[in-house]
């Protein structure tokens, strides 16, 4: 099976970086429990929205992001049993490439460069399963789209869902 896996908010905890930088700039620390069903920029004061939305376009946003719990162990197991690709729409953030590449080298060294796809529109990448946190990627995927739970997608109803990487491990182990 060819499994495609997104990076941000699936393997790498980008939401935490928003909280971290917002605390740096405004002295208030949010948590995921504060933003159910929302993107972070949607809950900050109007005068902060533009700055918050610019964070991922700034140098260093993607550097040393925390790894989502159990992602490394599960992806390593899956990579031995399946044809696995990391698919990140990195083109949106021009400073992200090196940080993302080095992040994979550090935390997912078993993912060969040939399995790393930094792209624009993901619908050009074909596979059997896509694990992603965004509707705009899942809705155009021609295979089996699976939403990985993040604060902004808890209301998605139209996809199979994985809340954790342990659930993902059980999901693939239970497949015929």
How far is the C-alpha of 11 from the C-alpha of 8, rounded, in Å? 6
For residue 79, the minimal CB distance to Mg ion (Å) is: 19
Q: Could you tell me which residues come within 8 angstroms of residue 18 by beta carbon, excluding any fewer than 6 positions away? A: 40, 52, 55
Distance (Å, whole) CA 96 – CA 76: 23
6 contacts Mg ion (rule: CB under 5 A) = yes
Least distance CB 20 / Mg ion (angstroms): 18
- Cβ proximity to Mg ion: between 8 and 13 the closer is 8
Give whichever of 110 and 136 is closer to Mg ion, judged by the CB atom.
Answer: 136
- Report the alpha-carbon distance of residue 16 to residue 35 in Å, rounded: 12
Interaction residues for Mg ion, span 103-162 (CB under 5 A): 133
- Straight-line distance from the first to the last Cα atom of the chain, in angstroms, rounded to the nearest whole number: 11
- The verdict on 8 binding Mg ion (CB under 5 A) reads yes
Q: Which positions are catalytic?
A: 6, 8
Closest residue to Mg ion, based on beta-carbon distance? 8
Per CB under 5 A, residues contacting Mg ion are 6, 8-9, 133
């Amino acid at each position: 099976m060819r499994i495609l896996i997104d990076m941000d908010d699936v393997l790498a905890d980008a939401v935490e970086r928003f909280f971290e930088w917002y605390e740096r700039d405004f002295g208030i620390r949010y948590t995921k429990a504060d933003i159910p069903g929302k993107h972070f920029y949607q809950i900050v004061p109007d005068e902060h929205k533009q700055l918050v939305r610019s964070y991922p376009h700034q140098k260093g946003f993607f550097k040393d992001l925390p790894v989502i719990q159990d992602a490394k162990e599960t992806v390593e197991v899956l990579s031995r049993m399946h044809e696995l690709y990391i698919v990140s729409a990195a083109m949106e953030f021009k400073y992200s490439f090196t940080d993302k590449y080095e992040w994979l080298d550090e935390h997912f060294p078993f993912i060969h460069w040939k399995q790393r796809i930094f792209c624009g529109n993901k619908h050009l990448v074909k596979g059997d399963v896509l694990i992603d946190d965004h509707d705009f990627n899942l809705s155009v995927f021609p295979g089996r789209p699976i939403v990985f739970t993040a604060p902004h997608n808890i209301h998605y109803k139209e996809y199979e869902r994985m809340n954790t990487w342990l659930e993902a491990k059980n999901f693939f182990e239970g497949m015929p």
